[in-house]
Amino acid sequence: MLYQPSADKEELDRWKEVTLIYNSALKEIGTKLEILNDEFQDVHKYNPIEHIKARMKTSESIVKKLKSRGYESTIENMVEHVNDIAGIRVICSFTSDIYRIADMLAAQDDLRILATKDYIKAPKPSGYKSYHMLVTVPVFLSNRVVEVKVEIQIRTVAMDFWASLEHKIYYKFEGNAPEHIQQSLVNCAKIVEQLDAEMLSLNNEVQSFVKE
Domain assignments of the chain as residue spans, ordered by start: 9-158
Please state, in angstroms and rounded to a whole number, the distance separating the CA atoms of residues 34 and 205.
27
Identified catalytic residue from 10, 60, 151, 174: 151
Q: What is the pLDDT of residues 19-42, one digit of tens each?
A: 999 999 999 999 999 999 999 889
Which fold would CATH assign to domain 9-158? Beta Polymerase; domain 2 (3.30.460)
Say what the pLDDT of residue 1 is.
52
pLDDT at 112 over 90: yes
Sign of the alpha-carbon torsion through 65, 149, 113, 131 = positive
Say what the pLDDT of residue 174 is.
77
Say what the pLDDT of residue 82 is.
95
Please state, in angstroms and rounded to a whole number, the distance separating the CA atoms of residues 2 and 59.
7
pLDDT at 65 over 70: yes
Angle, CA 117 vertex, CA 113 and CA 119 arms, to 5°: 150
pLDDT at 211 over 80: no
Say what the pLDDT of residue 10 is.
79
C-alpha Rg value of the chain to the nearest Å: 19
Going by the DSSP 8-state scheme, the letter that residue 150 receives in this structure is: E
Beta sheet of 131-140, edge-to-edge order: 49-56, 86-92, 145-156, 131-140, 112-118
User: Burial level of 107, CB count in 10 A (0-12/13-18/19+)?
Assistant: exposed
pLDDT at 178 over 60: yes
**Least confident window among 1-10, 39-48, 121-130:** 1-10
Mean pLDDT value of segment 56-84: 92
pLDDT at 7 over 60: no
Is 10 designated active site? no
Closest to 140 (Cα-Cα) out of 58, 26, 21: 21
Closest to 59 (Cα-Cα) out of 18, 89, 10, 25: 18
Mean pLDDT value of segment 44-48: 84
pLDDT at 3 over 70: no
- Banded model confidence at residue 96, pLDDT cuts 50, 70, 90: very high
Most confident option among 4-13, 64-73, 153-162, 173-182:
153-162
Please state, in angstroms and rounded to a whole number, the distance separating the CA atoms of residues 125 and 177.
14
